[in-house]
């Protein structure tokens, strides 16, 4: 068990005082079924052993475990053997993917004060694995270009779109130059992609101490923050176009699959890109001249941040890879359901790390295995889940969700027929439950969170989330939306699920196949960001700084285990459609977009007036001269009526279904229930459009997508929202129509279900 004895007693006491006072319903369950389910879950909990988590994490993170490494394969086999020993059917599914291995990395500042970058992460006292060198991937990014370039250096802040607007106003452009961007804000791969689109010939990305170093906390090994020589590795593949193997978009990368040529692979970048530490970045940044960087561009190095681009700092950058392939090993374990073997609840976590990968991803993998062990024991004792469980250990997530995407593409037809839900986790921290996914499952997750005790505070996971949201809404800088949520919470409303963008293995299930999807994890009390994707994401670090009690890994197992088992055993699948239709989700997103259109129209008009009045040259400061901004295209008045009407219909239908299920759900015949479940299982697929989003057909979900210009960050109602942001008026009109159409299809499916359950 994960609770020390006294905390456990306190939790029981509090449960009597608070949770018991407000019994939380299990959606899709009648009271008797709910009681039985909760009893099962209590038995599940007793099978979770702290020693398992510690032991597995230590073993798996004892050697480098990136794609293709011997230790990764050994971990796959170890997992498979354990899963089999727990009573699961197992197999390892392989895919062959494009896999450039780093060959050469060189970076030097030329000129009067030359500097040759170290590009190395040294061993640290107290971090036992950091002295290993055999098989360790050097600092690099995967799916950047090869190149050997020498050019003037330009500092571009985070290297996101708005930074290029600021560069232009400072009269600096990056054509033919090498950019240096700091990690943070936008996703890693955006930085070289935008640099490439603006004409740069090379890109450097570094970790500024402002963002995850000494500015935040003491550097490792004295504290949890990133140290002087630590480097964040990662992928720069443009997965907002499509994730997975760059050569096989849309199909499984089996040995015989049809492949693109490398130069056709839209997700692979062209310019050489290298990630570095702040230790290596400081001499480069200190050499820059030219304009002083805008205030919000300045990091925590003891220098005056300047933009450069004036020939002050010439840099030589050389990056080369071996453009070969590697084999991925996905471990797939199945526990056949007793009643509905053709309905699958899928649960995954990746297994590959950049080096030792203790927090990311192996912590999450220990939770997955512990769940499988506990569920296996229950099955052995006769309490097999009613629906089939599929537990998956993905390979190659770090390079761009390779293992999960290839598997989802390969098994697409079967998944469309059988999948009920995909539940994802990744590296786990300590603190607050972060839950994102399909909004009709919001009540399900609130119910799970209400039934679990948070180890640090002793209150329920849900109460802790609620307290956080309400306290944050009191801060002077709180946004109106936060205050609205806090008001609803104060009145007893549910904690909203987050909408999912990308960055972990849920993406193909949610955004390509349209399955109901959840992503769960704990964090927010410090964690592994100071060693993220570095040599130092180790067992020693995890046990000192991430989760020293190993109390949040059992909690993650409890959270995911309940989620999986509640869905697997549910008499009626647990959607509540009002949570999808209403202001916390679809209706709220539409409202945001309409407000954004109004604000953009007003702001373009205001700026036009000021441009016409010559206001920008009038305020220009000769000490910090700025060019006038480029005029923004005018925003026409947009007809959102088709969308508004579809949402209004959806809200009415959702309310009718939710009320009908509460009134009549317990009394349904087995036949009706089966029909209902089959419909509920597939309903999220109505939200797809087969032609996908503009320029990225792989992404078919019209409710959730990662932003093409933001990377991980979600864009809700993406066809509409991104058309507005990019001022594509034809697309905007088209996607208002298409989005209304899929919402209507979803609503019609709801109506059919309501008809099924409403008496005669």
The tokens describing 428, both together, are: 């786990």
Strand partners, 332: 91, 392
Cβ nearer to its own copies, comparing 465 with 502? 465
Strands, E assignment, 286-369: 314-335, 340-350
Cβ nearer to its own copies, comparing 137 with 462? 462
Binding part of the chain for its own copies, among 55-63, 464-472, 636-644, 648-656 by CB under 8 A, reads 464-472
Beta carbon of residue 618, minimum distance to its own copies (angstroms, whole number): 4
Which 3 state secondary structure label does DSSP give 331?
strand
Q: Does 614 bind its own copies (CB under 8 A)?
A: yes
Q: Which of 30, 377, 456, 592 binds its own copies (CB under 8 A)?
A: 456
β-pairing, 340-350 vs 387-394, is parallel
Q: Which of 66, 233, 411, 464 binds its own copies (CB under 8 A)?
A: 464
Interaction residues for its own copies, span 413-442 (CB under 8 A): 431-432
Q: Is 614 exposed, middle or buried (0-12, 13-18, 19+ CB in 10 A)?
A: exposed
Binding part of the chain for its own copies, among 268-276, 452-460, 695-703, 727-735 by CB under 8 A, reads 452-460
Q: Is 455 exposed, middle or buried (0-12, 13-18, 19+ CB in 10 A)?
A: buried
Interaction residues for its own copies, span 270-299 (CB under 8 A): 292, 298
Contact 547, 430 (CB under 8 A): yes
Q: Does 526 bind its own copies (CB under 8 A)?
A: yes
Quick note: the x/- pattern for its own copies over 618-657, rule CB under 8 A, is xxxxxxx---------------------------------
Measured distance CA(681)–CA(86) in Å, rounded: 28
Beta carbon of residue 308, minimum distance to its own copies (angstroms, whole number): 14
Quick note: the x/- pattern for its own copies over 224-263, rule CB under 8 A, is -x--------------------------------------
**Distance (Å) of CA 582 to CA 662, 663, 742:** 18, 21, 16
Binding part of the chain for its own copies, among 52-60, 450-458, 575-583, 671-679 by CB under 8 A, reads 450-458
Q: Which of 240, 445, 459, 564 binds its own copies (CB under 8 A)?
A: 459
Q: Which of 20, 125, 256, 302 binds its own copies (CB under 8 A)?
A: 302
**Distance (Å) of CA 633 to CA 121, 595, 610, 617, 640:** 47, 17, 14, 21, 19
Return the number of other C-beta atoms located less than 10 Å from residue 203's C-beta. 31
Cβ nearer to its own copies, comparing 219 with 244? 219
Beta carbon of residue 302, minimum distance to its own copies (angstroms, whole number): 4
Return the number of other C-beta atoms located less than 10 Å from residue 642's C-beta. 17
Helices (H) and strands (E) in the chain, counts: 24, 16
Interaction residues for its own copies, span 150-209 (CB under 8 A): 209
Beta carbon of residue 466, minimum distance to its own copies (angstroms, whole number): 8
Interaction residues for its own copies, span 212-231 (CB under 8 A): 214-219, 223, 225
Q: Does 605 bind its own copies (CB under 8 A)?
A: no
Measured distance CA(655)–CA(676) in Å, rounded: 17
Q: Which position has the token pair 């297994």?
A: 351
Q: Which of 46, 85, 128, 606 binds its own copies (CB under 8 A)?
A: 606
Does the bond joining 221 to the residue before it have cis omega, within 30 degrees of 0? yes
Beta carbon of residue 353, minimum distance to its own copies (angstroms, whole number): 23
Q: Does 470 bind its own copies (CB under 8 A)?
A: yes
Q: Which of 46, 85, 525, 645 binds its own copies (CB under 8 A)?
A: 525
Cβ nearer to its own copies, comparing 301 with 720? 301
Q: Does 381 bind its own copies (CB under 8 A)?
A: no
Q: Which of 92, 610, 666, 672 binds its own copies (CB under 8 A)?
A: 610
Q: Which of 9, 13, 42, 471 binds its own copies (CB under 8 A)?
A: 471
Q: Is 609 exposed, middle or buried (0-12, 13-18, 19+ CB in 10 A)?
A: exposed
Q: Is 755 exposed, middle or buried (0-12, 13-18, 19+ CB in 10 A)?
A: exposed
Cβ nearer to its own copies, comparing 460 with 569? 460
Residues 6+ apart with CB under 8 A from 277: 118, 121, 139, 206, 207, 227, 228, 229, 230, 231
The tokens describing 138, both together, are: 């050097």
Phi, psi for residue 286 in degrees, rounded to 5? -70, -20
Does the bond joining 361 to the residue before it have cis omega, within 30 degrees of 0? yes
Q: Does 468 bind its own copies (CB under 8 A)?
A: yes
Instruction: Report how many residues bind its own copies under the rule CB under 8 A.
Output: 51
- Residues lying near its own copies in the complex (CB under 8 A): 209, 214-219, 223, 225, 292, 298, 300-304, 431-432, 454, 456-457, 459, 463-464, 466-468, 470-471, 474, 490, 524-526, 603, 606-607, 609-610, 613-624
């Amino acid at each position: 068990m994960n609770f020390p004895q006294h905390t456990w007693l306190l939790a029981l006491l509090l449960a009597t005082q608070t949770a018991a006072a407000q019994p939380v319903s299990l959606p899709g369950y009648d009271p008797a079924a709910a009681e039985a389910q909760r009893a099962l879950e209590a038995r599940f909990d007793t099978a979770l052993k702290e020693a398992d988590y510690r032991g597995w994490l230590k073993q798996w993170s004892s050697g480098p475990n990136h794609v293709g490494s011997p230790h990764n394969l050994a971990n796959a086999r170890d997992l498979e053997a354990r899963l089999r020993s727990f009573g699961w059917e197992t197999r390892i599914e392989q895919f062959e993917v494009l896999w450039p291995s780093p060959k050469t990395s060189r970076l030097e500042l030329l000129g009067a004060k030359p500097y040759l970058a170290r590009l190395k992460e040294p061993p640290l006292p107290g971090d036992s694995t950091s002295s290993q060198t055999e098989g360790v991937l050097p600092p690099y990014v995967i799916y950047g270009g090869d190149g050997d370039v020498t050019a003037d250096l330009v500092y571009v802040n985070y290297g996101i779109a708005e930074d290029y607007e600021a560069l232009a106003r400072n009269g600096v452009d990056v054509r033919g130059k090498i950019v240096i961007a700091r990690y943070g804000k936008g996703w890693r791969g955006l930085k070289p992609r935008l640099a490439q689109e603006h004409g740069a010939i090379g890109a450097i990305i570094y970790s500024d101490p402002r963002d995850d170093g000494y500015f935040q906390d003491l550097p490792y090994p004295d504290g949890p923050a990133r140290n002087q020589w630590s480097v964040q590795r990662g992928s720069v593949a443009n997965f907002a176009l499509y994730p997975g193997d760059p050569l096989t978009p849309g199909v499984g990368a089996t040995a015989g699959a049809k492949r693109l040529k490398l130069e056709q692979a839209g997700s692979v970048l062209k310019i050489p890109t290298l990630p570095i530490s702040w230790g290596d970045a400081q001499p480069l940044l200190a050499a820059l001249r030219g304009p002083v960087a805008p205030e919000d561009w300045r990091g925590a190095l003891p220098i005056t941040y300047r933009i450069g681009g004036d020939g002050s700092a010439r840099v030589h950058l050389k990056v080369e890879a071996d453009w070969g392939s590697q084999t991925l090993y996905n471990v797939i374990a199945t526990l056949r359901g007793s009643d509905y073997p053709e309905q699958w609840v899928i649960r995954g976590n990746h297994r590959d790390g950049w080096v030792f990968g203790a927090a990311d991803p192996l912590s999450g993998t220990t939770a997955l295995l512990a769940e499988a062990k506990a569920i296996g024991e229950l099955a052995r004792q006769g309490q097999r889940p009613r629906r089939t469980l599929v537990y998956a250990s993905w390979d190659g997530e770090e390079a761009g969700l390779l293992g999960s995407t290839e598997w989802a593409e390969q098994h697409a037809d079967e998944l469309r027929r059988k999948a009920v839900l995909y539940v994802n986790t990744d590296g786990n921290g300590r603190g607050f439950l972060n839950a994102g996914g399909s909004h009709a499952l919001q009540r399900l997750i609130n119910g799970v969170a209400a039934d679990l005790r948070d180890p640090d505070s002793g209150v329920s996971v849900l109460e802790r989330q609620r307290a956080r949201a309400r306290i944050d809404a009191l801060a002077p800088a709180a946004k109106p939306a936060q205050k609205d949520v806090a008001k609803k919470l104060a009145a007893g409303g549910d904690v909203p699920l987050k909408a999912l963008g990308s960055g972990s293995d849920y993406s193909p299930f949610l955004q390509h196949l349209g399955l109901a999807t959840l992503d769960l994890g704990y964090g927010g009390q410090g964690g592994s960001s100071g060693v993220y994707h570095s040599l130092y994401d180790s067992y020693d670090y995890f046990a000192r700084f991430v989760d020293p009690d190993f109390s949040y890994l059992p909690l993650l197992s409890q959270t995911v285990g309940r989620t999986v088992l509640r869905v697997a055993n549910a008499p009626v699948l647990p959607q509540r459609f009002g949570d999808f239709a209403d202001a916390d989700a679809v209706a709220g997103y539409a409202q945001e977009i309409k407000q954004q259109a109004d604000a953009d129209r007003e702001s373009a008009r205001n700026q036009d007036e000021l441009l016409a009045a010559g206001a920008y040259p009038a305020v220009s400061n000769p000490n910090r001269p700025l060019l006038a901004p480029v005029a923004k295209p005018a925003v026409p008045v947009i007809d959102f009526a088709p969308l508004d009407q579809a949402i209004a219909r959806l809200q009415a239908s959702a309310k009718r279904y939710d009320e009908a299920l509460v009134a009549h759900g317990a009394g349904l015949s087995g036949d009706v229930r089966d029909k209902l479940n089959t419909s509920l299982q597939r309903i999220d697929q109505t939200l797809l459009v087969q032609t996908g989003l503009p320029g990225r057909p792989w992404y078919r979900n019209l409710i959730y997508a990662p932003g093409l210009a933001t990377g991980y960050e979600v864009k809700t109602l993406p066809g509409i929202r991104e058309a507005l942001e990019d001022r594509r008026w034809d697309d905007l009109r088209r996607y208002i129509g298409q989005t209304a159409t899929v919402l209507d299809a979803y609503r019609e499916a709801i109506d059919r279900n309501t008809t099924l359950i409403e008496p005669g």
